[in-house]
A and B are shown apart, each in its own frame.
Chain A
Amino acid sequence: MSENKGLTRQQMCDRLAMEFQDGWIVNLGIGIPTLCSNCDFGEREIIFHSENGVVGYGPLTPAGEEDLHLVNAGGQHVTLRPGAAIVHHADAFGMIRSGRIDVTVLGAYEVAENGDFANWKMAGQKGGGIGGAMDLAACARHVFVAMEQTTRNGRPRLVERCAIPVTARGVVDLVVTNYGLFEITPAGMALKEIAPGITIDEVKATTGCKLIVPGNVPVVKGAG
């Protein structure tokens, strides 16, 4: 089971959140990516956007203090930061399609070395759960993925080509898994940083595509 090795989910999200630049508008998918809103951004101003029209939400609301009119895209009760705004769904997606979102962080079943990824339909499933992922993946300036290195059965999620229907083609920039940080480059999938306690051989053995490994791979920033 690769799920218990390497980075915790929070460490995975902390690492991606280090890439968020001051002033960025960030959209977080449901699942692991929601943990990106728990990070300490220091002096950086990060504006969290959610598909249901909340622009500028803050941390989750403590139990018992929930505003029952206010949730993020994952249906979690959140707070609003000063300067927040509310719009309807069409305007929320207008912001997405018109390129206002600097980065979206999404979960995935598979990411291919050419930047294709799949996150809406499991193998053999009838129907699917797209939500806002296709709009976000097609239109955000950057697409980051946070997912486990392998499936529960140990199959690689980093692959040559997606075997299940894709969400968008050639859009993923950066992937974090519990085993490390990977960049999609014009030459293919590159290992940028490795999780503490994980060896290069373990990463290679659980990666389903050619992996570009530089001579010296640093430990994942912030996790060492």
Chain B
Amino acid sequence: MFNFKQLASHAYRQYELVTCINMLEPWERKLINGFFLIMMTLVIFSSFVYLPNYLQTLMQFVTPLAGHNSGENVAYVAQKMARS
């Protein structure tokens, strides 16, 4: 537990230094922290909601013959990509 706390505080200090948060005024800190939080949320949200679909389509595109419908041609994949 103690170790984790130390690790977390160290990570936060590194983040503070990289984003220059340690030399900002409180409202600026909130702004920058908020900005990074929103960006992170968006990235995580989109990677959960959209990424699996994208990856699936991409996999089909990259390996067209290994897909479940072996008789299909490449044009079908392109159509599917356009739809999704």
Asked whether A and B interact, the reply is: no
